[in-house]
Chain A
Amino acid sequence: MDIETEHTDSGRRRFLKGLAAAGAAALPVSTGAAAPERKKQYGMLLDTRRCVGCQACAVSCRSENDVPLGHERSWVEQIDKGSYPNTTVKFLPRLCNQCSEPQCVSVCPTGATYKREQDGIVVVDNDICIGCKYCIQACPYDARFLNPKTGVADKCDFCADRLAQGRQPACIQTCFFRARIFGDLNDPDSEIARLIATNPVTVLRAEMGTMPNVFYIAAEHMGEADARHYDQHIRVTTYRSTRERR
């Protein structure tokens, strides 16, 4: 991704940032302190009640960001549950959670990936990244991949280029059903902040301590492993041509 940023280039600054970020991640005890105050923290809300799993967002993302086939920056999973005739199908759009405690950032050995000061988007500097794939291993949400064309780590960056042009991220704009909402979590008047404030929301893998900035209304958190426990048919389809659910 080509990133415009206030983040300066000095190695020392990166060192200190890395120290701080890594230090925070390396602390054995969760401090429970709030993430540092940012001017803006972009976030996303997925209202799965409205999502019909049409994959428009996934294809829009692929188109906008030149995501090679075999990989995804953004994808929509389908969860079939139940026994005839009491069945449901639900959809779970997934992408990078732009965490406030990003585990990918704390493992990056070159400082290529970092969380932007001005809006909280976690980005990868394509010129610095060496493609060691440590961040890909570290992400608890399987949101990263090694881009075979660029040779570096790749993931959703909330369409930072489109944002810089005053446009919505590709996935947001293309959704007929307004199942995806995007905005500044730190702005209490924004649509996303108000929806999060007035609806029960969840995040994925809250126990990972990542403080994700992607939220869900009515998400189906169950997976196939749960079928054994609850004696129900559960099928998860990831619509990722090379990956199972993780």
Chain B
Amino acid sequence: MKDGASGAKARVTLPRRGFLGACAAVGAGAALGVRSLGGGTAAAMPQPQDAGVSVIPSTCNMCVNRCGIVCYVKNGVLEKIDGDPRNPLSGGGLCAKGQAGVMQLYDPDRIKYPMIRTGKRGEGKWRRASWDEAFDYTADHLARIVKKHGPQALLWSSSTELSEAFFVKLGKYIGTPNFARHATLCLASRNVGYFATLGGVPGSDLANARYILMFGANRLESFETPDNITLVEGLARGARLVVVDPRMTVTAAKGQWLPIRPRTDMALTLALMHVLIKHDLYDKTFVRNATVGFPALKAHVGKYNPEWAAKETGIPAATIVSMAHEMAAAAPAVVIYPGRRSSWYTNDTQFRRTLGMLTGLLGAIDARGASNFGAGAVTLGDIEWEIEPLDVAERVDGFNEKNFPLAAHEDGGYVHLRDTLLQGKGKYPVKGWMVYKQNPLAAMLDSSKTLKLMEQMDFIGVIDIQPSQTAWMADIILPETTYLERLDPIWAPPARRKFIGIRQPVVAPQFESKPLLDIIKGLAAKLDKRHHFETPLSKAFNFTIEQYVDAQLKALPIDRKTLMKEGIWLAPPETAEFGRYRRGEKKFSTPSGKIEFVAERFQRNGYPPLPVYEPPKEEPGKQRLVTGRPAWYTHSSNQNNPWLNALQPENDIWIHPDVAHAKGIRDGEVVRVRSAAGEVRIKALVTPRIRKDTVYMAHGFGSRSTGQTTVKGRGGADETLMVSQADTITNNQALHETFVEILKV
């Protein structure tokens, strides 16, 4: 029998304390195992044991977390993906999605070569094309539109990705202003709400917190490394967790579940502030030193008492009062969790403001176990880009400083954009739509409207790895390589222990897929032949990905080849420093330099400077539809993955037992779900884990794409049901403002 010791331990085994009564470890992350925040070790990368097996480090892409991975490859075949134990954020763990990356690479349904539509849009009839023809085809269509309507007639949409910059840049060099990115599909409201209050979105020291308040933010199913990890560590150390959510998620199950009436979250936060102020529980010193607007806040929340909030939210007044007391007692080691996806309601921005305000009132910031700024990222270099065109038209939809003063204009407001174009109110026609790494037909609510928007387009081109719903409606699909087959720009996330990670090919590109930069360069060359662009596109992209990465690493003490071998480079450790904001040494990034209860940015732009509660509307006989996800699916991107699909072949709709009983609906029965926007058929899951006035569907099913053979025909699409609504300030789409009727088939 072989002696297996290789010198490379998979993880450091440290003494583990009992679950209860554990005293807090000293120093951020020092006594925790590798899995915790800041615990990246300098251990050597795992080495191959078997002859013929290569061990290649890289960065996962099955979701945005981009955990560190180590890939085991034999004879050019990827056999296994392990987590990278040296990664300071993920610490060697890797979720089900990351493990299923093998099947993203080997998904029989993945796009293998450029495909040009032959039948009608969405019919699913394709013919294979060579890359040369594909580039010609795409360039023909794009150039035609540019010549006839100008470059601004192109809608250029993409979601966050390491290489996304290349796609966005191409759009900029072509000269369109009409970008539609991830922000208003997801977290724009949170960003703006926190930006206006705290000056940004802080990190959360969940591992050391004594009290954690989470609204939604289902971290134990919707992973956000390291928060999912540190939350469990904090719980293991005895932190009190309160989860406010109309349904009991796994996160709620690990703490106290407050089944709040949907869209009344602000009532709870306002009432909490009311109690903290009324009972003098707030952090007086901190409020005096580091905040502005307290007198106005105090006056404002005077009427938002717990009894009132109890009527609005359904949470007993006594609970609200005791929450305030517990939070105050635990302060500053309290995390009022900012959350991430803020695509719930039309007032999310203001609601997120109240979370920031609560943070400030408690002084639950800039301290151990609290919210903290200061996790920076390693600074990367950049190549010398050519100068972008100066004269670019303004956005077609007027999504600008004037109309949406606080929104992220560069990213576009998706709902506003779609509404504008559908109502014919655009400043000029938009005739072409290029999509990269985005699935707007699934991602946007009210999909019938997205379909209508597609009808307006003379050309739809999609760059993707699989036949998503959006790709299925395209005129041409250009296959990108998966993350396992390409070298990407460097991953340099904010983290307590700063580091950079490589993403590199672990196997050769499968079939005829190409990395994005190569696709961009191919398009650029063909476009240059057809149209004179202010900056020749080929000139703008006159570099290889290797040169790009070299430029990023230029100022760092590591070069590309070493990084490809090691996978990760850790910056020298920095000790966590608390108190600099509290002592006034550092200022918050707000106009006043302090935490703003009264948001000057809001006031200046005509928005209510203090959040005003609006009672939600109700529709008797109907339920409010909410959405979310399980731990093994990412949005609409991997339901077709055979290993993940085996866990949950289809989604269902969660219905409270009393509601099901009244309608005569049995568990597992297929029901009709009807809203003002559409209707779907889906199986019922009768469960007490949700309020009577709410129903829940996991996102990502009901795909129209028959190219996804594992998942086609399964489940129902929530986006078909959702009525088009958006946050009034940021235009963040509001997915939870739809009421549905559940009917027997």
> Direct A–B touching in the complex (beta carbon < 8 Å)?
yes
For residue A233, which residues in chain B have a CB less than 8 angstroms away from its CB? 657, 687-688
Interface SS of chain B: helix, strand, loop or mixed? Answer: loop
For residue B236, which residues in chain A have a CB less than 8 angstroms away from its CB? 49-50
Q: Which of A5, A52, A69 contacts B221 (CB 8 A)?
A: A52
Stretch from A99-107, A128-136, A162-170, A201-209 contacting the other chain: A162-170
A124 at the interface (CB under 8 A from B): no
Given contacts A55-B632, A168-B11, A173-B11, contact A89 B250 (CB under 8 A): yes
A177 at the interface (CB under 8 A from B): yes
A84 at the interface (CB under 8 A from B): yes
Q: Which of A56, A59, A84, A217 contacts B689 (CB 8 A)?
A: A84
Given contacts A54-B95, A56-B99, A166-B9, contact A174 B250 (CB under 8 A): no
The winner among B6, B16, B46 for most chain A CB atoms within 10 A is: B16
B258 nearest CB neighbor, chain A only: A85
A226 at the interface (CB under 8 A from B): no
B18 at the interface (CB under 8 A from A): yes
Contact in complex: A54, B223 (CB < 8 Å): yes
B90 at the interface (CB under 8 A from A): yes
Given contacts A54-B223, A199-B18, contact A239 B647 (CB under 8 A): yes
In the docked arrangement, what's the CA distance between A52 and B250, Å? 7
Q: Which of A5, A163, A174, A235 contacts B82 (CB 8 A)?
A: A174
Contact in complex: B688, A63 (CB < 8 Å): no
In the docked arrangement, what's the CA distance between A168 and B632, Å? 22
Stretch from B224-232, B456-464, B585-593 contacting the other chain: B224-232
B687 nearest CB neighbor, chain A only: A80
For residue B228, which residues in chain A have a CB less than 8 angstroms away from its CB? 52, 176-177
Contact in complex: A118, B4 (CB < 8 Å): no
For chain B, residues 67 to 107, give those with C-beta under 8 angstroms from any C-beta of chain A: 79-83, 85, 90-96, 98-100, 102
In the docked arrangement, what's the CA distance between A60 and B80, Å? 8
Contact in complex: A164, B4 (CB < 8 Å): yes
Contact in complex: A176, B90 (CB < 8 Å): yes
For chain B, residues 638 to 654, give those with C-beta under 8 angstroms from any C-beta of chain A: 642-644, 646-649
For residue B7, which residues in chain A have a CB less than 8 angstroms away from its CB? 166
For residue A84, which residues in chain B have a CB less than 8 angstroms away from its CB? 259, 656-657, 688-692
A138 at the interface (CB under 8 A from B): no
Nearest Cβ in chain A — how far from B52, in angstroms? 14
Contact in complex: A165, B4 (CB < 8 Å): yes
For residue A173, which residues in chain B have a CB less than 8 angstroms away from its CB? 10-11, 82-83, 85, 92-93
Given contacts A52-B220, A52-B631, contact A69 B95 (CB under 8 A): no
Question: A55-B96, A199-B19 known; 8 other A-B pairs, CB under 8 Å?
Answer: A5-B1, A50-B232, A52-B250, A56-B96, A63-B80, A63-B99, A165-B49, A176-B229
Listed A/B pairs (29) with beta-carbon separation below 8 Å: A47-B19, A53-B250, A54-B631, A54-B632, A55-B96, A55-B632, A55-B647, A56-B631, A59-B96, A59-B647, A60-B94, A62-B643, A82-B688, A84-B690, A85-B688, A87-B688, A89-B248, A89-B250, A90-B253, A165-B50, A166-B6, A166-B8, A173-B10, A174-B94, A175-B93, A176-B225, A176-B228, A177-B35, A235-B687
